[in-house]
Structure 1
């Protein structure tokens, strides 16, 4: 389910001086496509590697996500150079709740990019978009994403288990950040 109305992108990039969250640009597509083939990315995300068709339609699909109220896809960029270093997205479950998903490009991992980006996006979602809750889900084996949730003061709310196509079990840790009183500093 999406929001009942389009989502307006931030007027200016969201930034903390080190990273900036901004709209996707054609110049970002090489980096996004390259990162989409990274084995570590595939270990944790369900997205298929970006092929020629996905690359060709990437900007239009991102624009449609904003217009439809389904999602708010942004690029994580270096705040000084504007070089793309990852992607981040709010996926709306309703008018009040969204799930954050992100991926930091391989060469930029371990530099604090993900917590900075998640803090910026959560602050924007809870204040400007007036969401009541932002959810962060992480595979229980993904220690890095669990640390991001903890660093950003998301509250652990439980574990969800599901059977995947090969018959194995997948356990997902679920975290939530609520309202304007939440600590997203």
Structure 2
């Protein structure tokens, strides 16, 4: 799945003066790798922790995601220092619909970073990319992500069960639509 046309990476960061959402760069990779091993990150995200092989191909996979229109992988950075404090992505289902996925690095959780970044990305997706609808799926047990969706104006539209090997989990599905 994805868009029928490539997405141009952001030429300027999206910012609210506190956080910035910008393209990923090589200096971000150590922080992304470290956070990928955090137990809460492993618990809530589908991606396995980053190993050396994944790190070595990370930027080429990011470029491919943009070029193919499959995703827009970005970094959440401190707007003043440019220090990476999380990751955020749009994963395109088609030309009109994308899913928002994000993770704030452990040392910066609980500081309101995720809602700020999600609002920035939502505005960009709906206003600049012409998306009709953004979806956000959060494990029902991940109360922090459920609160982020609600704070950002996403409306709960249901849930779905996702099979994960020997077990399953319930994802709460939220939507934010243009207009």
- TM-score strictly above 0.5: yes
Name the counterpart of 1:69: 69
Instruction: Tell me if 1:173 matches 2:135.
Output: no
Kindly state the Cα deviation for residue 63 of structure 1 after the two structures are TM-superposed. 0.7
Task: State the alpha-carbon separation in 2 of the partners of residues 103 and 89 from structure 1.
Answer: 9
Task: State the alpha-carbon separation in 2 of the partners of residues 149 and 124 from structure 1.
Answer: 16
| Structure 2, unpaired ranges of 5+ | none
Task: State the alpha-carbon separation in 1 of the partners of residues 168 and 80 from structure 2.
Answer: 42
Name the counterpart of 1:24: 24
Deviations 1:27-69 (A, max 9, x none): 1011000001000001111111111111111111101100000
With normalisation by structure 2, the TM-score equals 0.98
Task: State the alpha-carbon separation in 1 of the partners of residues 10 and 61 from structure 2.
Answer: 18
Name the counterpart of 2:5: 5
Task: State the alpha-carbon separation in 1 of the partners of residues 101 and 126 from structure 2.
Answer: 16
Task: State the alpha-carbon separation in 1 of the partners of residues 118 and 133 from structure 2.
Answer: 13
How many correspondences in the alignment? 179
Instruction: Tell me if 1:80 matches 2:80.
Output: yes
Structure 1 runs of 4+ aligned residues shifted over 6 Å read none
The DSSP-based 3-state class of the residue aligned with 2:3 is coil
The DSSP-based 3-state class of the residue aligned with 1:102 is strand
Instruction: Tell me if 1:60 matches 2:60.
Output: yes
Task: State the alpha-carbon separation in 1 of the partners of residues 31 and 164 from structure 2.
Answer: 30
With normalisation by structure 1, the TM-score equals 0.95
Name the counterpart of 2:118: 118
The DSSP-based 3-state class of the residue aligned with 1:95 is coil
| Structure 1, unpaired ranges of 5+ | none
Name the counterpart of 1:157: 157
